Amino acid sequence: MLTVLLFLVFLRPDPARKPLPPADSERIQAAHMANIRSMASNGILLSAGPFNDTPTTISGIFILKAASLSEAQRIAASDPTVLEHRNIVEVHPGRGPAGIADEYFRLHKENPATPEGMAEHPLCLIYGATSPARLIDQLHSEGRLGAAGTIEDGGGLVALVIFKPGSVEDARVSWKQTLPSNQDNSASSTIIGGAPLTCCHGENIESPRMAGSHDRRCWPCGSG
């Protein structure tokens, strides 16, 4: 499968974040959504959405196209929630399927009123696996995989897996079944919960909590 360089961005709560008056929160959120729409219109943003895990470790996620890690870091750091010291950014380079979001943007260019057609997709972050491709291939062969990509920054996070639409509980069971069959004791996951996930044009859907790996995604290519 042909893959391309992408950047996975986590917006994490700024440790110095303090409660804000409602008017300030609304102003920052409006600016944040305007930035999301601008990045999508410019072909930079492929996906975006918030998480509602408790306690919150990830405020939101971006999947970006950029020429380099430094460029992706610059783009992510320009989000209003970062400039206003509500979030900090964590950027991971990786590879994902070529053509991600092409069909989504083609349909919306032809007809801006095209429905988003979004659904709940449990999302799993894989840490420490010696062979994430083998884990991903098994999920694909069993018809459980919506999309996946590898992370290439040399850290503990090695892959991102997006399950086809379904419940968090089913995804958790699938993941536990996949690990033993691959005999990869080095692999682990962190599944945290999403809440409304927002696609790059601002449509919201609801998502439950998942334990052990991240649990939400808006993937506009329709790969699920």
* pLDDT tens figures, 163-206: 777 777 787 787 777 776 655 555 555 544 433 333 332 332 22
CATH class of 3-205: alpha beta
Instruction: Tokens 């449509």: give the residue.
Output: 203
Residues 28-49: what's their mean pLDDT?
90
Region of residue 130 (phi > 0: left; psi between -120 and 50: alpha; otherwise: beta): alpha
Please tell me which of 26-40, 94-108, 112-126, 203-217 the model is most confident about, judged by mean pLDDT: 26-40
Does 41 have pLDDT greater than 50? yes
Evaluate if residue 144 carries a pLDDT over 70.
Answer: yes
Cβ burial of 110 (10 Å; 0-12, 13-18, 19+) is exposed
Q: Where are the domains of the chain?
A: 3-205
70: pLDDT strictly greater than 60: yes
Contacts of 41 (CB under 8 A, 6+ apart): none
pLDDT at 72: 97
| pLDDT in the model for residue 208 | 26
